[in-house]
A and B are shown apart, each in its own frame.
Chain A
Amino acid sequence: MSSAAPVASPPGGTAGTGPAAAGGTSPPGGRRRARRRRQARVGLLFAAPMLLLFAVFRFGPVLGAVLLSLTDYRLSGEWTFIGFENYTRLGGDDLFWDSLRVTLLYVVIFVPLTVLMSLATAAMLHQVVWRRGLFRGIFFLPYVTSIVLAAVIWKWIYDAEDGLVNGLLGLASLGPVDFLGRGELVLPSIALTSAWKGFGYSMLILLAGLQAIPRSYTEAAMIDGAGPWQRFRHVTLPLLRPVLFFVMVIETITAFQVFDAMYVMTGGGPVRSSFSLVYMLYDSGFKFFDFGYASAIGLVIFVFVLGVSLVQRRFLGRED
């Protein structure tokens, strides 16, 4: 399908400088120039399938997203240029502000939860040598599954009538609590599901970070009479900060893209209290076929993710 395509044309700019720079020096220069030209041809040929795929399915859609957001593109394919109207419409759309609030609240709940879960398990694994591989595997297990699977299982766990948690609460004559049916509980419940699914990744990164800290540092603190908590607080944590920061950024970006779990567990409810930005994008696009408007929401999500990445770059640049 995608093969058999012509070589992607090299971008302009740097293309012109090659031959001039290599220009006639000594006799072997001609051979060298031929070799260089062959290299360039082979290089482009080998990179061609990926470059073509990127041109069509990655750069194309990025450009398309910007252009679409300035139109009122509909299902029929008809469109007119409407400038920034989609963006001003977003500004006056309560649904948008609601979903932005939901997304930010979710970020604020999910990120500390995941980072704490991964840090706690990584710290435990770092200390305990007994069966470390087995435990590491167990904590990593949910990461290899899909968030849809996690959502399906946890939806039952949270179920008000049949679920595991309410069953246990029932044994203690408590509850039932409708975790997914109450506005103030739905986001923490979904965040816990996603954290369960994903904390294994950050745990591995943090564990690698912990193991990179020279033992002599904590040993020195121990000789000075520092207890385990003090050693962790004043020696380990500061040294771990760059890794911790990386993990926070990665998880923040993940949280901004939350959708699957909400789609499966709550359908955005109750009363839109789990209706995230991506959910709104999906609904505008594939329920109302308001493609231009949906693209504008996509760009808002992009701006948030870009902002988080830039903050990371700035801070990490300063740390090292």
Chain B
Amino acid sequence: MAASRAASRTGRLTLPVLLVLTAIVTITPFAAMVLVAFAPESGQTFPDALIPDRITFANFEHVLSSSDVPRWTLNSLIFSFVSVVLILLFASMAGYAFAKKRFPGRDALFWALLATLMVPFQATLIPSYILVSRLGGVDTYWGMIVPTLANVQAIFLMRQFIVQLPDELFEAAEMDGASEWRIFTTIVLPLVRPALATLGVFVFLWHWNDFLWPLVIGQSGEMQTLTVGLATLQSENVPINQIMAGATITVVPSLLVFGLLQRYLTDSIAMTGLKG
């Protein structure tokens, strides 16, 4: 009797213990990154790296002063923030048009846009590069940003949200003689704020973490983004402590966004299945 109760208690504890262990294993790489980044020069190999004899900021100071990391951070911020603003604006405009306006070829156009989801970006990498380079966009911000604005998921998400808004709202505003742009900015945008926030977070993460496109467009050291720069750093003879310091700098904005909006982010993936 007592034995079976004990057995059932261990049975009940198995899952939580397993969960805690899995969680620890999942976080370990991050913990290792931070520990190595704060370890002194000697701490490059396993036991010393994880149990450093002292903590130092030298790796961060070094990486921030001797490499292009500050410049790369600026590039990443520009690439991400400008893209977020423009995608939110253009996608909500297009979403409004596709949801609430009838125009010739509307549905065919919408399906044509959705069909581009089937084409992986890599398949069009070369023509996109040639196009941008012919237009003089290599090593420029616009060359890096503009081609990424054609985002199907963004239009789709905004359309889905705006379709649910009641038509009476727009009819009433139209009766009052409000211009379309006014209706859009004072009725549509405020009502879809949750969708805009969700989309904004995703677009930020997609762009902040993007690699292949910034790699081919930002070729000079000056124009690389943080992810590209990090790949460059680690292919050179930079000590691992400094690479991990660079990696830590790279991950901070993503973690900030995640920390602030965790609940929100995970819920919206479960609901909409957004994936970059």
Binding site for B on A (CB under 8 A): 1-2, 10-11, 13-15, 17-18, 36, 39-47, 49-51, 53-54, 56-65, 68, 73, 77, 120-121, 124-125, 127-128, 130, 133, 135-142, 144-157, 161-164, 166-168, 170, 196, 201, 204-205, 207-208, 250, 253, 256-257, 259-260, 263-264, 267, 278, 281-282, 285-286, 291, 294-295, 298-299, 301-302, 305-306, 309
Contacts and interface: CB of A to CB of B under 8 A. Distances in A.
Contact of B36 (A17, A156, A166, A207): A156
12 contacts: A17-B104, A40-B101, A50-B94, A56-B150, A62-B116, A65-B124, A144-B265, A152-B244, A164-B32, A164-B46, A263-B231, A281-B126
B93 A302 contact: no
A53 B270 contact: no
B55 interface: no
A153 B130 contact: no
Contacts of B124: 58, 61-62, 64-65, 298
A22 B270 CA distance: 43
Contact of A50 (B46, B90, B122, B126): B90
Nearest to B148: A57
Contacts of B33: 153
Contacts, number: 289
B81 interface: no
Contact of A305 (B89, B118, B240, B262): B118
Interface string B18-35: 110011001111101100
B180 A278 contact: no
Contacts of A140: 258, 262, 265-266
Contact of B234 (A73, A144, A264): A264
Contacts of A208: 270-271
Interface of A is mostly: helix
Interface stretch (B1-9, B59-67, B208-216): B208-216
B30 A141 contact: yes
Contacts of B47: 167
Contacts of B142: 1
Contact of B46 (A130, A142, A151, A167): A167
Given A68-B127, A145-B251, A162-B240, A278 B122 contact: yes
A281 B230 CA distance: 22
Interface of B: 15-16, 18-19, 22-23, 26-30, 32-33, 36, 44-47, 49-50, 89-91, 93-94, 96-98, 101-106, 108-109, 112-113, 116, 118-131, 134, 142, 146-147, 149-150, 155, 180, 184, 205, 208-212, 216, 227-228, 230-231, 234-235, 240, 243-244, 247, 250-251, 254-255, 257-258, 262-263, 265-266, 269-271, 273, 275
Contacts of A301: 120, 122-123
A257 B15 contact: no
Contacts of A148: 209, 211, 227-228, 230-231
B154 to A, nearest CB: 9
Nearest to A46: B97
B112 to A, nearest CB: 8
* Most interface-central of B28, B36, B118, B120 (chain A CB within 10 A): B120
B209 A141 contact: no
Interface of B is mostly: helix
A309 B116 contact: no
A125 B19 contact: yes
* Most interface-central of A125, A135, A146, A301 (chain B CB within 10 A): A146
Given A156-B36, A285-B126, A291-B130, A13 B46 contact: no
A295 B127 contact: yes
A42 B104 CA distance: 12
Contacts of A154: 29
A291 B45 CA distance: 43
B94 A47 contact: yes
A48 to B, nearest CB: 8
A299 B240 CA distance: 38
A53 B87 CA distance: 11
Contact of A285 (B27, B46, B116, B129): B129
Given A11-B109, A148-B231, A196-B29, A44 B103 contact: yes
Contacts of A136: 266
A299 B122 CA distance: 9
A157 B266 contact: no
A311 to B, nearest CB: 13
A147 B209 contact: yes
A61 B262 contact: no
Contacts of A260: 211-212
Contacts of A124: 15, 18-19, 22
* Most interface-central of B16, B19, B228, B250 (chain A CB within 10 A): B19
Contacts of B126: 65, 68, 281, 285, 291, 294-295, 298
A144 B270 contact: no
